Structure 1
Amino acid sequence: MSLALIEEGAKKSGILWVSLAGRDRLAWHVWHQGAIYLVTGGGEQSLPGLTGASRVRVTLRSKDNGAELVSFDADVEPVDQSAPSETETGAVAALVKERLNASGTAGLAGRWAASGASIVRLRPDVAV
Structure 2
Amino acid sequence: MEITRVLDAALRKAAAVWITSTGHEPRLVHAHWRADALWVISGGTEPTLPGLADGAQITVTVRSPSTHSHLIDAQAVAHLTEPDDETALALKTARLNTKPEWDVVYRLEFSS
What stretches of structure 2 of length at least 5 have no aligned partner? none
The aligned runs of 1:36-115 (5 Å cut-off) are: 36-52=38-54, 54-80=56-82, 84=83, 88-103=84-99, 112=102
Q: Which residue of 2 aligns with 1:124?
A: 110
The residue type paired with residue 40 of structure 2 is: L
1:47-79 CA-to-partner distances (Å, cap 9, x unmatched) read 112125521000100111111111110010011
1:95 is paired with a residue whose SS is helix
Looking at CA atoms only, which structure, 1 or 2, has the larger radius of gyration?
A: 1
Pick the structure with more helix per residue.
1
RMSD (Å) for aligned C-alpha atoms: 1.8
The residue type paired with residue 102 of structure 1 is: T
After superposing on structure 2, the runs of 4+ consecutive aligned residues of structure 1 that deviate more than 3 Å are none
Aligned residues: 110
Q: What's the CA shift for 1:89? A: 3.2
TM-score by length of 1: 0.76
Aligned-residue sequence identity (percent) comes to 26
1:11-38 CA-to-partner distances (Å, cap 9, x unmatched) read 1210100002241110011001110001
The residue type paired with residue 46 of structure 1 is: T
Structure 2 CA distance for aligned equivalents of residues 45 and 100 of structure 1: 16
Pick the structure with more strand per residue.
2
| 2:11 is aligned with 1:10 | yes
TM-score by length of 2: 0.86
